[in-house]
Structure 1
Amino acid sequence: MNTQNFFWASNLKYLRNRKRLSQDELAERLSITRVKLNAHENGRSKNPPVEDLVRISDFYKISIDNLLKVDLSKLGELKLRELESGNDVYAMGTKMRILATTVDKDNNENVEMVPVKAKAGYAAGYGDPDFIAQLPVFNLPYLPKDRKYRMFPTTGDSMLPIPENAYVIGEYLEDWHSIKGDMPCIVITKNDGIVFKLVTNLPEQRAMRLKSLNTQYAPYEVHTGDILEIWKFKNYISDSLPESESSLQEIARMVMEIKGDVKKLSLKPKA
């Protein structure tokens, strides 16, 4: 069996450091010798005994398959917590979307901000831990700590009344089946980069329909294979007040109101 692509050794060392345990402490908890644990962590155990695989899997509450085949250091703290809680989304044969992320000194997820100058490069660097590590980070106390958030810049007027040059905070969506009709989301695509749209899932067409709040822009569809990430809208930050409706939008609203009044009159019984 080719073990070159296995992550057993690096995962054990990463998980031990994550729990802030020394080799002596962990070896005692696992009821193995420190020499054996050291051999596992340094890749000298080419064929780990089955009892060691099971013992370590039970201790970390992570499947043997994941301990062997997934680089856990790239998953981020939220994904590790999901694995530990039994949400094994990385089973063999499934397509993985690994989110590069950063955490603070207490292993809490940061909210990374994508500055305007980094916007163009995000579609290429979104999965690169080194690229993500260079982004500014901050924390907002009102955001739940069991989810992943990131902040993106907006450009143009397609999402008015949200002002141009605002920063939109999005919650990472792994399960795209949860997207309902016209859900506001930040969508990262291969061709268009970062866009902020109302998103509708079209599973039969294997596509997403993207629509602007500004009705002057026509909706369009993007194949799911061209989508890299989706972040559900949570909030936005801006130093500008939302603009009032444009004259065209106001006229359209007035026309709809007039049509509604005419329809009501036509339904009234004649005297």
Structure 2
Amino acid sequence: MTPIQINIKHLRLLKKLSQERFSEELKCTRSMIGSYEEGRSEPPIERLIDLSNYFNIPIDILVKNDLRLAKDTSFIEIGSKRVLFPITVNENNEDLIEIIPAQASAGYLAGYADPEYIEQLQKIKLPFLPTGTHRAFPIKGDSMLPVKDGSFIVAKFVEDIQDIKNGRTYIVLTKDDGLVYKRVYDKDADTLILSSDNRFYNPYEVKKDQILELWEFTCCINTQEYKAEELKLSSIMNMFQELKVELESINIQNKT
């Protein structure tokens, strides 16, 4: 069986359509749909375009990938098309977490929508995670202390940007900056503010339509042990940050 014949039947059933009803939607005969699904004939390019437009899925995904594990929630919007959002499972049908390696994180912007790229990533299982689709992302630099350089943030995929919780931390994939880990605030209907916990880095604004993926923090995996002086430094920084918030609050009260 070829992917296209498998996918036509699977996607048709996802939409709860009979062959007859589906043929009416595509303006062709029921026997033609049957021949595609049974592998007796291959759809010509014109029909592949029709199928791509109907399911809103790129042609290359329809003809190259077995979508039988895909549900409606397995697809995400990329521009005007839906692309497959791979969900990897083990032999017990348990969800696995893809790990974005540090040396390949720069390539994630090019490969995040490519099922073949995602399938090649290393995978682990963390049984304590809540339900949802998770990935592990490498952290670089010191903008989100006390999270150390070289740590991994395990985060849950956010399907709707409107579900952002003000002040929570997220892995954000944007067209211009690639992957960043920041504390996120909803400024208005069109704009988010991305803020670092390390106050040496200034917050900045990002338009929501520039965001390609959003992942909410679930847990952190440190790959190095903290030194005692690092913990002290982190505590001192947190104290100063809290003090700044208190001073700002006092200033606001004085102005009113």
**Alpha-carbon displacement from aligned partner over 1:19-48 (angstroms, at most 9, x marks no partner):** xxxxxxxxxxxxxxxxx95652326387xx
The equivalent residue for 1:243 is 231
Q: TM-score, normalised by structure 2?
A: 0.66
| One-letter identity of the residue aligned with 2:112 | Y
Map of 1:220 onto structure 2:
204
1:153 corresponds to: 138
User: Among residues 171, 186, 192, which one is paired with 1:208 in the alignment?
Assistant: 192
Match of 1:11 in 2: 7
Structure 1: 5+ residue runs without aligned partners? 1-6, 16-35, 47-63, 267-271
Q: Which runs of 5 or more structure 2 residues have no equivalent in the other structure?
A: 12-32, 44-50
Give the count of matched residue pairs. Answer: 214
Aligned: 1:80 with 2:89 = no
Letter in 1 for 2:191: A
Letter in 1 for 2:232: S
Could you tell me which amino acid in structure 1 is paired with residue 160 of structure 2?
D
Kindly provide the CA deviation profile for residues 182-229 of structure 1, in whole angstroms up to 9, marking residues without a partner as x: 12111111222211111123442x222111111221111112222111
Aligned to 1:197: 182
- Residues 94-131 of structure 1 show CA distances to partners (whole Å, capped at 9, x for unaligned) of 86464244333444432000111111101111111111
Q: Residue in 2 aligned with 1:61?
A: none
Verify the 8 A CA contact 2:56 2:82 in the aligned structure 1.
no
CA distance in 1, matches of 2:72, 2:186: 28
Contact 1:208 1:222 in 2 (8 A): yes
Structure-2 residue corresponding to 1:109: 95
Distance 1:163 1:219 in 2: 19
SS for the counterpart of 2:232 is coil
1:68-92: per-residue Cα shift (whole Å, max 9, x none)? 5546757784x61758xxxx998xx
1:102–1:132 CA contact under 8 A, matched in 2: no
1:152/1:169 contact within 8 Å kept: yes
Moved over 6 A (4+): 64-67, 255-261
CA contact (8 A) 2:36 2:42 kept: yes
The one-letter code of the counterpart of 1:199 is V
Corresponding residue for residue 134 of structure 1: 120
Alignment of 1:44-193 (within 5 A): 44=41, 69-70=56-57, 77=69, 80=71, 82=73, 96=82, 98-144=84-130, 146-193=131-178
The offset of 1:249, in angstroms, is 5.2
Question: Against the structure 1 CA distance between its residues 13 and 192, is the aligned structure 2 distance closer, same or farther, given a 3 Å change threshold?
Answer: same
Instruction: Measure the CA separation in 2 of the matches of 1:121 and 1:224.
Output: 22
Give the alignment's TM-score, normalised by structure 1. 0.63
* Counterparts in 2 of 1:106 and 1:67: CA distance versus 1, 3 Å: farther
Structure 2 SS opposite 1:210: strand
Which moved further from structure 2: 209-218 or 115-124?
209-218
Higher CA-based Rg: 1
Cα 1:154–1:40 change in 2 (3 A) is: same
- Tell me what 2:46 maps to: none
After superposition, the Cα gap between the structure-2 partners of 1:108 and 1:80, relative to the gap in structure 1 and judged at 3 Å, is farther
